[in-house]
Amino acid sequence: MAKKTRRQLLGQHFLHDKNIIKKIIKASQPEKTDLFIEIGPGTGALTFLLAEKAGLVIAIEKDPALIPDLEARAAANVEIIAGDILKLDLVPLIEEKRSGLSSVKMTGNLPYHISTQILFVLLDLKNSLKQAVFLFQKEVAQRLVAQEGTKKYSPLSILLQNYFETELLFLIKPGAFSPPPAVDSACVKFIRRHGTAFFPEEEEKKLFKFLQISFAHRRQTLKKNLERAGYRSQDILRAMNKVLLESKTRAEELAPQTLYQVFLELRNRPGLE
C-alpha cells in the first residue's frame, strides 16, 4: 500500500477557482467591523481577499509547512495561528481579539475528514458568532440543511438548526480544488438565530443523546429504537399517544418540536441516562 502524502493525511484540497472564492466572499459579507476566524487557510486563496474587507482575520492552519508563506504575505489585519482547530480554546482568543469589532464570523474550506467534528466547534462558539460560511462534502452539506421526512434528516440537522438558520448556497465541482477531491462539494451558510428554534439550550446534551437513540436504526420505528435503549413499551406508547403519534412512526418523519415533546414525556422514565 502506498504511503499517504501529507496532503492526504491532512485532507488538503486547496481551493483555486476565483469565481467560487468570490461567491464565498460575497456570502460571508465581510465588513470592517468583523472579526473573522478562518479554518484551514491553506495557501491563503480566501484569506487575503477576505482581509481586504474585514476588520481582522485570524487564520488557523494545522500544516506547519504552510505557515511561513502565509505569514510572509499577511497584511496588518491578518494573524496566522499554527494549530489544530479541534484542540484550540477559541472563546478566550475571540474575547481578546474582538475589541472594537462588533461581529464575529467564521469561514473555511474544511478538511472533509474532520468536518463533522468542526461543527461541534461551531456549536461551542454559537453564543459568540453572528454567522459562518463553510465548504463541505456535498453529502454532509445536504444532511446539515435536511428537513423532516427526508433520508438525510438527522440529530445533527436538528441540533444545528436549533441555533442557526442553515442554507446550502451552491455546489462546487472537484475541479475547483487542487488536488481535486473524489466528490462534489457544497457551500453552506449558518446565520445565528435570535434565541432557539425548537428547544432551550440547557436541554441540548440530554436531548441530543435522545435524538441519537431515536435515529439509531433509521428503518426501525421510533418505538423500536427507544425500546432498544431501555425505555419501557408502555411508557413509550403513553408518550406517543400524548403527542398524537402512531406506534409505527419513524423518527425521521417527525418535526424537531414533536421529537422534543416526546423527549419531555419520557425524560423522567427509565431509559435515558
Question: Between 256-266 and 233-242, two packed helices, what is the crossing angle to 10 degrees?
Answer: 130
Q: Going from the first residue of the chain to its last (273 residues), give the mean pLDDT of each consecutive group of 10, the final group possibly shorter.
A: 43 88 97 96 95 97 95 96 94 91 94 91 94 96 96 96 98 96 96 97 95 95 96 95 95 97 89 60
Q: What is the pLDDT of residue 273?
A: 57
DSSP 112: G
Q: What is the pLDDT of residue 169?
A: 98
Q: What is the pLDDT of residue 92?
A: 93
Domains of the chain in start order, with CATH, are 6-192 (3.40.50.150), 201-266 (1.10.8.100)
